[in-house]
Structure 1
Amino acid sequence: MSIKTQEALVLNKHRCGSMRYSALSFILLLMLLCSHSGLTQVEPKAVVKVSPDQRVFRGETVTLTCDIQGAGDIQWTYSWLKDGSVIPDITERVYTITSLSDNSKYSCEAKSISDAVTLTLSDLPRSTLTLTPNSPVFTGETVNLKCVIESYSDWRWRNGLTNDWRYEWYKGRYSVMLQTSERYTVNRDTLTIRGATESDQGQYWCRGQRDGRPNSSQSSSAVSLTVKASPKAVLKVTPDQRVFRGETVTLTCDIQGAGDIQWTYSWFKDGSVIRDITERVYTITSVSDSAEYSCRGERSDSQRSDTSDAVTLTVSDSYRAALIVTPDSPVFTGERVILKCVIESYSNWRYEWYKDTDSVMLQTSERYTVNRDTLTISGATESDAGQFWCRGQRDERPNSSQSSSAVYLSVKDLKPKPELTSDPAGAALTGNTVTLTCHMNLSPGWDFYWYKYTLNSETKTQTNSYRVKIDSVSDGGQYWCRAGRGKPVYYTQYSDALWVNVTVSPKAVVTVRPDERVFRGETVTLRCDIKWGGDTEWTYRWETQGRNNQYTNSVRRISTQELNIISVEDFHSGKYTCTGQMGTQSSQRSDAVTLTVSAEAQAAVRVSPQPWLTEGDSVTLICEVTGSSTGWTFSWFRDDDHLSDSSRGAGGSYTLSPAALQHTGVYTCRAERGRPAYYTKNSNTQPLWITGVSPSVSLVVSPSRSQHFSTDSLSLSCEDQRNSAGWTVRRYTNRNTEDCSTQTGSRCRIISLSTSDSGVYWCQSESGEKRHPLNITVYDGDVILESSVDPVIEGHTLTLHCLHRSTNSPILRADFYKDGSLVQHQTTGEMNITTVSKSHEGFYYCKTERGQSLHSWISVRVSRSGQISVFKILSSLLAACMFLLATVVLLFKCCRARVPSAEDQSQYSVREETST
């Protein structure tokens, strides 16, 4: 249905209703006229009540109630009128308007028509958002957004509108309220952004909410916040940062990146504000002193730009002219003198020249030649002496210079004569240099000319010294010098001749104490000697090519004749040289001496001819220091006791001749040298085994052989011809001396032998006497060589057997070797030498298809002549001639002196030593 059709229907209904009401009114009037009661009734009155109020905000709901006053309980139907027109289809007492859209007058009708009630429609209070400072703002600034909600002064509840608003803040298109956070601070009607950044840019809007009516405001219009980088002030200077005193300077402050913002300006001089200057351009009409200037801009909301970089305004006087005179004063008659006027910077100067106090400019003449900035005096005379000065003039700024300081020109008539000296003043040594010096009490600017032997050839230098390299004696001789300057050259007189004497340089020699090869911890002294006939004292310079740079540098600082190293270390190793220094002269460098530092020194002992001896033999123990042989003295020890008979140990050798039984023991040695003394480590142990010719105490071994199988048993006992008590069996194994492992009295029994039981066994008394040492070898192989443990006498038979572990009996087939060479091949497993001689001494072993024995040393003992019976001689002499008693006594004493005792009689014997 169209809108016009709807309007026509409403109009028809209204007309019909109006006709109906007119007829009803006419009937009621007739009833009143015809009534005979004569009573007058008051007509009920319709009254419209409005809730909540006649003044309504757009969008609010309004309730209209039609009350019929004075009608009692009569049931009514109601009609509602808007602006005098019936509102169709509304017949209830209460009429609710859910959303009032405009201002209108409403009334209701039942018996009568109510007075009209005017509903006035108002918009919700407007919210206005203000921004401080104005956009754009700059990064880092604090921004305040304030939400203002209008109030209505003609409302009776206007006081309520200004209070109790709850403010809501929004940014951009999002409907999420902004809350207090790291970015924002919300305080009722104010939103604060502290330290704005570019991320804070955007559209902001606000609105209010409250509990009373109106319960909300309109949303504010969106305000755009633009955040820019903080603008930078830039200071420009015209005409230049360097100005002359009295000039006008214009300073301009430009705010870059600020757009069309209006600024006021602050100016600073040396960091302090210049008062009353707020314009962009600051003009200094007459600059007087140098200073630093800077500026910044300020907006009306007190926001500031960054301060400009400081610009230093340098105020100077006009450039001062400088006068340069060549050559330096004094000059000599006839010399050519050039005066040059120099003005720093700028060009197009016109130069003016003046002399003394005369204000008349000097011009080109017979005396002077003026060429722009140069005044030339050709052939100076004494009349040219005086004060000269200059200045400049030009058409542009600066238009004049300051006058130069006056320069006094002194002119002398006498030609100077230099003096020639040498360093050193005495004889020069080959390999060094001699410095010649041409002395003149003159100003700088002279060149010097040097002559040798004759004045025909010269060497030119710019300094008054000349170094002569003395390679040989021929570099000595006569030398002269003179000086000259200018163009053409003006020469002084020649110096007197100087004779330079040359001597061949001596060569330094380095000696080392105690030796060039030393050991860690020793004290080393290196000495530098120079053979020189003169009485001059030398100083010394040491150099080394060691591995420690810090030490190398410290050596170079030593100037004494001796270089001492206390407690030498590895890094002291290297080549050392020295040089003597006598003033500026040096000796020839010494040949390099190589210092070698080794680990701690170790003594070593060896024996000659062998460690197994018979009483009366001679033996020498030799003590040596590995890798060194210089400067050592030696100490000897037997069984760890120091031997005081040092005469035996002279030169590192300790000789026993003849060897006695008490010399048996384990020997070590130690070497020392230097002050303080440096000691080597103790040497290895070296035992000496000395047996008597007819020992009173014997070590009896069972089974009686020198080699034994491991796991076999062994019995050893000490047997004394007089008394076995007090003797024990001791042994030396693996360099240790100890009692036999299982001992009862003078007897020792080892139930199960092992290789660790190999060693030398002997009998030892309670007082420490050692008797009858024997070598016992335990072998864990399958074959041993059987021989007697006791010596075999020269001329007797030597029998050797080759035994196998499984049978412990001779092997039928065996080869016997002496000193590595095959001696016999036997099928009986036994080798016999019927008559033993000294030539049979050596190392023996046997070899079978089942294995090979260890080596045993076989030594041969030579028998001495038999003892002559003293008693038989005496009996014969007494029987023959009693009266020759005195002669017999003398013969008796003589025989006793030359014939050894029976105990001294020796026999050939066999000693066995084993080696693998």
Structure 2
Amino acid sequence: MGDSTQWEYKWYRDEQELPADESDSSRADRNIYRIHFVGPSHSGKYQCSGRPTRGTVNSPISDPITLTMNWEIPKPELSLDFSHGETYTGERISLSCRVRGASSGWKYLWYKDRQGTELSNPDNSRTDGSSYTIISAALSHSGQYWCRAQRGSFYSQYSDPLQVDIHDLPQALLTLQSGWTDLFPTERVTLRCELQGDSTQWEYKWYRDGQELPADESDSSRADRNNYRIHSAGPSHPGKYQCSGRPTRGTVNSPISNPITLTVNREIPKPELSLDSSHGETYTGERISLSCRVRGASSGWKYLWYKDRQGTELSNPDNSSTDGSSYTIISAALSHSGQYWCRAQRGSFYSQYSDPLQLDILGKLVREKKKLFTDAVMISD
């Protein structure tokens, strides 16, 4: 419209002309209408028109601008943008401040532990509009936070306080869940990585001899994803195992756990079977014990016993008992004669069968005849 000094201006609210004393009448910026202190009476549809200085006709009325006046000073909402419950050192944390339903133009101010003193911008933090970001959380970042919004010379209320608690990442604990550290080919073992809290809040990493294992080697089912299973031990499995955890959707890992070292023997073991007897021959009525042993292997074995054929495990008749690595015949009978085997079981793993042991039970008549013959020899001597 040219130089504003060539025009005089009229102002309207809801199509009613406003008194001249409500407008800014200074010559320098008389085309500006200022509301110095907003109140309920200022809501409405504002328009203006102009007339040339010393002219007699007004310009067409302008397009309207509608101002709405809220009845209360706004109180912003403060929230923590984080996907899991606990917040740990080293993680990136963002706080968000928002004036709900209000128009743009806000600047946000941030406070910690007390209102009134605005947060500075330390090296590991930054303020960006409505967000306050801690790039690498430390224990010292724990505390109460507030925000408020500013627009021009106007300030919102303070938000409600938000308590932020930063925790040290817990130490991962690696345990042997099932199986043994001294393994044989095809044997199974399960390792468990344990961290404080619900295991579903964590993602897990596994290491062997300091090298991270591929994810497809671990059990990734949600129910027990903190387990690492070896389903069939082989030459690639010996080594020192460790684990670490990371909060779900987090960015930092816990300290690496204690190690557990697994060894894998080259061959499936073959137990040794022996007869615990102080004399060469065995007679009816005597107590007999057979012993089975996996030489040099760790504990955890259950022993199985067989007679006359492999594959069909011995039952436990009234006059016999199995006790760990021993099979005891309490009172030998002629029917106990035959070939015996044993083998060892640990979980779902089985050893080889032992070599067979032939057991011959002699009757009382044989023993009496031998005794008479021995006595006769002694008399003749």
- TM-score normalized by the length of structure 1: 0.26
Supply the AA of the counterpart residue of 2:327: Y
Alignment of 1:519 with 2:184, yes or no, is yes
Supply the AA of the counterpart residue of 1:604: P
Give 3-state SS (helix, strand or coil) of 1:649's partner: strand
- 2:22 corresponds in structure 1 to none
Higher Rg: 1
When residues 439 and 652 of structure 1 are mapped into structure 2, their CA distance, relative to the original with a 3 A threshold, is same
* Separation (CA, whole Å) in 2 of partners of 1:688 and 1:449: 92
Give 3-state SS (helix, strand or coil) of 2:95's partner: strand
* Separation (CA, whole Å) in 2 of partners of 1:559 and 1:459: 43
Supply the AA of the counterpart residue of 1:695: V
* Separation (CA, whole Å) in 2 of partners of 1:468 and 1:638: 72
Conserved? CA contact 2:277–2:288, under 8 Å: no
Cα deviation per residue 1:448-482 (whole Å; 9 max; x = unaligned)? Answer: 8754323376334154342376666x753212356
Conserved? CA contact 1:609–1:620, under 8 Å: yes
Alignment of 1:554 with 2:216, yes or no, is yes
- 2:207 corresponds in structure 1 to 544
Give 3-state SS (helix, strand or coil) of 2:236's partner: helix
Supply the AA of the counterpart residue of 1:458: S
Supply the AA of the counterpart residue of 1:500: V
Q: Give the total of aligned pairs.
A: 290
When residues 665 and 554 of structure 1 are mapped into structure 2, their CA distance, relative to the original with a 3 A threshold, is same
Supply the AA of the counterpart residue of 1:655: T
- TM-score normalized by the length of structure 2: 0.54
- 2:243 corresponds in structure 1 to 577
Give the 5 Å matches for 1:178-189. Answer: none
**Which residue, out of 265, 285, 298, partners 1:598?**
265
Conserved? CA contact 1:478–1:500, under 8 Å: yes
Q: Which has the bigger relative contact order, CA under 8 A and spacing at least 6?
A: 2
Give the 5 Å matches for 1:273-672. Answer: 419-424=77-82, 427-428=85-86, 431=89, 433=91, 435-439=93-97, 451-454=111-114, 455=117, 458-460=120-122, 461=126, 463=128, 464-467=131-134, 476-481=142-147, 495-501=159-165, 510-528=175-193, 532=197, 537-545=200-208, 552-555=214-217, 558=220, 560=222, 561=224, 562-574=227-239, 575-577=241-243, 579=245, 581=247, 584=250, 590-607=257-274, 609-610=276-277, 612-615=280-283, 616-624=286-294, 626-630=296-300, 632-641=301-310, 642-646=312-316, 648-660=321-333, 662-672=335-345
Conserved? CA contact 1:543–1:555, under 8 Å: no
Supply the AA of the counterpart residue of 1:452: K
Supply the AA of the counterpart residue of 2:232: S
Cα deviation per residue 1:395-446 (whole Å; 9 max; x = unaligned)? Answer: xxxxxxxxxxxxxxxxxx9999864321448853555646132335898998
Q: How far 1:602 moved relative to its partner?
A: 0.7
* Separation (CA, whole Å) in 1 of partners of 2:271 and 2:218: 38
Q: How far 1:584 moved relative to its partner?
A: 4.2
Higher strand share: 1
Give 3-state SS (helix, strand or coil) of 2:204's partner: strand
Conserved? CA contact 1:633–1:651, under 8 Å: yes
Conserved? CA contact 2:174–2:260, under 8 Å: no
* Separation (CA, whole Å) in 2 of partners of 1:669 and 1:576: 37
Conserved? CA contact 1:420–1:437, under 8 Å: yes
Give the 5 Å matches for 1:14-53. Answer: none
Conserved? CA contact 2:109–2:149, under 8 Å: yes
Supply the AA of the counterpart residue of 2:288: S
**Which residue, out of 343, 346, 351, partners 1:680?**
351
Supply the AA of the counterpart residue of 2:237: H
Give 3-state SS (helix, strand or coil) of 2:271's partner: strand
Conserved? CA contact 1:449–1:459, under 8 Å: no
- 2:366 corresponds in structure 1 to 695
Cα deviation per residue 1:77-115 (whole Å; 9 max; x = unaligned)? Answer: xxxxxxxxxxxxxxxxxxxxxxxxxxxxxxxxxxxxxxx
* Separation (CA, whole Å) in 1 of partners of 2:360 and 2:141: 76
When residues 430 and 418 of structure 1 are mapped into structure 2, their CA distance, relative to the original with a 3 A threshold, is same
When residues 688 and 524 of structure 1 are mapped into structure 2, their CA distance, relative to the original with a 3 A threshold, is same
Give 3-state SS (helix, strand or coil) of 1:459's partner: coil
Uncovered stretches (5+) of structure 1, i.e. residues with no partner? 1-356, 361-380, 385-412, 698-720, 722-771, 773-790, 798-833, 835-916
Conserved? CA contact 2:292–2:303, under 8 Å: no
Supply the AA of the counterpart residue of 1:633: K
* Separation (CA, whole Å) in 2 of partners of 1:629 and 1:648: 21
